[in-house]
Amino acid sequence: MRRALNLVGKQKPYLMAHRGNRVMCPENTLASFRQAVQDGADILETDLHLTSDNILVCIHDATVNRTTDGKGAVQEMTLKQLKSLSASYGRSKFREEKIPTLTELARIIPKNVALALELKSDRFLKPEICRKLAQELRKQRVFTRTVMLSFSMARLQAVQAVEPELPIGWITVKRLIPKKGVQLIGPLFPILYLNPLYVAWAHRLGQLVSPLDTTPDARLGYYRWLGCDAVLSDDPGKTRKVLDRKT
């Protein structure tokens, strides 16, 4: 059985910061990731695209239009062009923030914090791109604490075909039972109410469960009762306080 993400010394449910702390900072920026670490996040979740010169960058959308002061498709821009933009998301305090590369993110995370990387492009279907990703994770010494995420099984399988040791996590908004073949599964949170046996079922398959719920605080008691392995949060500082109160 392929390994799941296991964070030694961390108490479950792990706290996964959704695009860093996107309440206090512009999403998917180094400021956002640093804030999430300060908040006590166990896992930093981010989104990956590739530039036209094949650099892995942390941005959710396929274009820069929403989160920066520029316009255009990420895959049609060089890293230099992306770095000329402000990733402040219109927040003047953060006007110096840029779209970070995966390398830049990996270099700032503490050794006890993991990465969850959502693959946002079909370019990850290409073996050479998957190899590039795995090589960068190994080079930055984060390979053993990284999980790949996607709504696309094809992208996940492409990565695992190249690097079988990398755990993969499938996100779903409608499937009511766990899907085999992944190490982590992220069901949209109402699914856990429609099927209260979902988490136990996934655990029998050797899977970790992290509900797709970016504002989980009101439901943390239920997630603990079910035995969820991780919770996602847009505001990890606030969620950490709730988790600690319920410990």
Nearest to 5 by CA among 137, 152, 154, 115: 115
Catalytic residue among 13, 14, 15, 18: 18
Q: How far apart are CA 197 and CA 110, in angstroms?
A: 35
Residue 42 sits at the vertex; the CA angle it makes with 40 and 46, to the nearest 5 degrees, is 105
List helix spans (H) across 50-126: 79-83, 102-108
Consecutive H or E run containing 48: strand 43-50
49 classed as catalytic: no
Q: What's the start-to-end Cα distance of the chain, in Å?
A: 31
Catalytic residue among 60, 145, 155, 240: 60
Bridge partners of residue 56, in order along the sequence: 50
203 classed as catalytic: no
Which residues are tagged catalytic? 18, 60
